[in-house]
Amino acid sequence: MADPSGARKRDAESRRAKAGRIAPAGGSGMPDLDRLIHERVRLGIVSALAANASMTFADLKRLLGVTDGNLSVHARKLEEAGYVACAKGFEGRVPKTEYRLTRAGREALERYLSHLDALIRWSRAGR
């Protein structure tokens, strides 16, 4: 029998719309966390670049303790989102890749930190 109210369809659409977002259960109206930044390595990259005007690939790799491939993939995702700018060049004959946080990246990090702060306040209020 067909669902005349369309409730099933709305529920499915709601689940699809929420996919990819992280929020506390219970529909409290808490803000969603930015999944792009929430991942450990990407959060490390954005945080390091927020504290420094720019950093090289080698510096980020050493700081975060990740492999070349891992850092490259995560940095590219941030670059594609417009959160990080990448400049490639040479220092002598040695290739040098340098990253900096864009305005959009800084704003995204600020939103992320505000959301975390709100989540902490929300969870403490429940005690």
CB atoms within 10 A of CB 8: 10
Ordered alpha helix ranges (H), 2-89: 7-18, 35-38, 40-51, 57-64, 68-80
Give the percent of the chain with pLDDT over 70.
Answer: 75
Mean pLDDT of all residues belonging to the chain: 84
What is the model's pLDDT at position 32? 78
CATH of the domain at 84: 1.10.10.10
pTM of the entire structure? Answer: 0.75
111 pLDDT higher than 70: yes
Q: How many domains does the chain have?
A: 1
Q: Indicate whether 49 pLDDT > 90.
A: yes
- Domain boundaries, position 99: 32-125
Is residue 26 over pLDDT 80? no
